[in-house]
Amino acid sequence: MTKLYLLEISNNYPESHWFKFKHPEGVDAIEFSQSKKIDTEIETTFEKNSKKTSSKILEHDFFFSDGPNFISPKFSDLIRSEQITGLQLMATSIAINKEIHTGYNIFVVTNKRNCFNEKKSSFEPLLPYLPDGPRKYTSISLDQMTTHDTDVFRAQEDFTRIIVSQRFRDLCLSNNLNGLKFVE
């Protein structure tokens, strides 16, 4: 059994650092959050026009966009060297004020698991006319008693939530990665 954490955007990640996801026509950004491996190579770019310098924006290792999340070369190398399970890294580039940066990867979570403690979590119906339908969680308690065979996965109960293992969290913290936080 391993302790679980919610992976979220850090409090110090500025809203002004969100990127615009550029992808070929016919590719839907939701494909990257379906908890499955993507078998086709997709050429993507993330763009940002900003008054801030590239170096200020690139201080982070976990980036957010109007599409999928993506990570820095440093974070990508750590995931590969430590053989983190439950992820697929897809090469992408970023453009800040038209200056191209390579070595970045889209953070594709390939697994989905049940992990919420339903008795301790709070939720309401996503659609009021479907009380037993999809849920909107207002507070989440992770079920720490379940066992999981992967370092990273999406919550079956809410696919927008990324769950990580103690090992993943500890590696990120010991390597001083920026842009992410872990919530028990």
Q: Can you give the three-state secondary structure of 72-96, one letter per residue?
A: CHHHHHHHHHCCCCCEEEEEEEEEE
pTM reported for the whole predicted model: 0.88
pLDDT in tens, 91-118: 999 999 999 999 999 999 999 998 888 8
Residues contacting residue 31 through CB under 8 Å, at least 6 positions apart: 38
Q: What is the mean pLDDT of the chain?
A: 89
The whole-number pLDDT of residue 143 equals: 86
Phi, psi (deg, nearest 5) at residue 17: -100, 10
- The side-by-side arrangement of strands in the sheet containing 180-183 is 112-113, 152-155, 162-165, 4-9, 180-183
Q: How confident is the model at residue 74 (pLDDT cuts 50, 70, 90)?
A: very high
Q: Please say if the pLDDT value at position 78 is more than 60.
A: yes
Please name the residue that has the structure tokens 């990127």: 19
Give the whole-angstrom CA distance, residue 33 versus residue 56: 28
> Is residue 158 a contact partner of residue 118, using CB atoms and an 8 Å limit?
no
Instruction: Read off the pLDDT of each residue in 153-167 and give the average, rounded to a whole number.
Output: 92
Give the whole-angstrom CA distance, residue 163 versus residue 158: 11
Cβ atoms < 10 Å from Cβ of 139: 8
